[in-house]
Structure 1
Amino acid sequence: MAKEKYITDAQGKRVAVVLDIKEYQNLLEQLEELDAIRAYDNAMLLDEEEIPFEDAIAEIEKHRQLISKFKLGNIKMI
């Protein structure tokens, strides 16, 4: 991981972090993977009815699209 760069306010308080785009994308991918692991763990804890594979894939794709919108929607030009 590269050394973080901070943006500070007039008092020197850290208010933002600047990341290399590759590091940012890597963090988002890791977050997505962790989310999938947690969902799997939660599903194993719950004794719920199984869903068909195709439905599960459709749900995952829906989640990925939401993540993609989040990724693009939070990029701000400075």
Structure 2
Amino acid sequence: MHIKPRVRIVGAERHQLAQHVAGRYQEGESIRELALSIGRSYGFIHTLLEEAGAGLRHRGGDHRTRPASSAGGAE
């Protein structure tokens, strides 16, 4: 699905696009991948995801701290 540039998307069409994008995002696609495939900006896709109520993932993967014993330091 590629959308014409500089065309305003409103109403039912926007709602349908937001649901489509949210479904793909929930399946694992990144915002950047979605933006590239649809032909819109990162910010536009981010806004659509917010409008669709999609829970946004955090950036950069797992940031949980490791236990001190597995940090590789001397015991």
TM-score (norm 2): 0.31
Q: Which has the higher contact order (CA 8 A, sep 6+)?
A: 2
Which is richer in helix?
Answer: 1
